[in-house]
Structure 1
Amino acid sequence: MTRVRAAICLMVGWVGLLWLLEGVDFASGNALDSFGIEPRDVGELADVVPAAFLHFGFAHLTANSLPLLLLGFIAAVRSGVRRFLGVVLLVIVASGLGVWLTAAPGSNTAGASGVVFGLFGYLLVRGFIERKALDIGIGLAVGVAYGSIVWGALPSDNGISWQGHLFGLIGGVVAAFAFRERTRAVTAGSTVRPVP
């Protein structure tokens, strides 16, 4: 299976799962909302990963679906599915723990927007870290197309989890470093030695 086909299957399946879960949540009278992250309660650490797959209504899910689908597809094609899954896991954990540590008391946070911000950050800096012209171009295009979302990572009191956005963005940048392609020290029979 080519990277493109694998990326399409993965992202369509992922977004489809989010819609299915929101349908179940709606039909159950929002029973899944209890899996959101409530800050600084140790028992809530178990909800860090599930919260990234849940939403508070179809409007919330609709707002996240297209950017998740597009940014996820690009990242999966450029990185390969295995590396992409590592990036997403790091972003989910960074975003969720950031919410758990810093969100307002009594709040409940869920949604894939932390992942969207993480993929944005990952794609934005990946090309510069990898030193690949195509990925630099992709990062610049992503920056132009989605750059305005950065305002969502700034502190506000509008009921949107800027903490999830900010820590997702940070997680994406960290993932670009953590999951960069390693260059080989030995090429074509010659050895590269560090300069003392």
Structure 2
Amino acid sequence: MVEVVNLISGYALNPVFGLLPRSLGGLDGILFMPFLHGSLSHAAANTAPLVILGGLLAATAPRLVFKASVLITVLGGFGVWLFGASAIHVGASGLIFGWFGFLLTRGVMTRQLVPLLVTIGVALVYGTMIWGILPGQPGVSWEAHLFGCAAGIFAGYSLSRRA
């Protein structure tokens, strides 16, 4: 629904609710950034990884989905807010990279068969996305990828120790 409203409004929600680093007005973007996209193709590119990685997380750690997602969104978003380039950051890729980091870390931390198999599968299928944490493609928030992944690793470590 948010994407539809944003599309109809000519993406007017992005400057209002997107994350703008080091700006008090951009702080709310920490929470709203994952729900906003720069175009339909941007939203479409995030859809498959959101469904697949989110589905794996929900299937293998249903009690941790909400906690992990909140930690990733807040910590990853705060990292972008502190250190990101001076531009409006939008998109769910920080959450995607966070779930990626979480799923990799959780399998190693728990040393249980199913999470380990998920870790191996995620590494094989999505392993090359790790290059997305490096600067490279103009207009892509590699900072969201980096801090999302770091937050996911932290969440995987801290939440798996408690589980």
Q: TM-score range with shorter-chain normalisation?
A: over 0.9
Match of 2:156 in 1: 176
Taking the aligned partners of 1:127 and 1:93, their CA distance within structure 2 comes to 23
1:139 alignment partner, one of 86, 109, 119: 119
Taking the aligned partners of 2:72 and 2:161, their CA distance within structure 1 comes to 18
Taking the aligned partners of 1:66 and 1:157, their CA distance within structure 2 comes to 20
Q: What count of residue pairs does the alignment treat as equivalent? A: 162
1:78 alignment partner, one of 41, 52, 60: 60
Whether 1:92 and 2:67 are equivalent positions in the alignment is: no
Match of 1:47 in 2: 29
Amino acid at match of 1:175: A
Query: For each residue in 1:83-122, what CA deviation from the matched residue of structure 2 results, as whole angstroms up to 9, or x when unmatched?
Result: 21110011111221111111222x0001100010011111
Match of 2:47 in 1: 65
Q: Would you say the 8 A contact 2:33–2:89 is kept in 1? A: yes
Amino acid at match of 1:169: C
**C-alpha distance 79-31 of structure 1, shift in aligned 2 (>3 A):** same
Query: For each residue in 1:154-193, what CA deviation from the matched residue of structure 2 results, as whole angstroms up to 9, or x when unmatched?
Result: 123521101000000001111111211547xxxxxxxxxx
Percent of aligned pairs with the same residue? Answer: 38
SS, match of residue 48 in structure 1: helix
Taking the aligned partners of 2:58 and 2:161, their CA distance within structure 1 comes to 14
Whether 1:26 and 2:7 are equivalent positions in the alignment is: yes
TM (norm. structure 1) is 0.79
**Looking at CA atoms only, which structure, 1 or 2, has the larger radius of gyration?**
1
TM (norm. structure 2) is 0.94
SS, match of residue 38 in structure 2: coil
Match of 1:16 in 2: none
Q: Would you say the 8 A contact 2:95–2:148 is kept in 1? A: yes
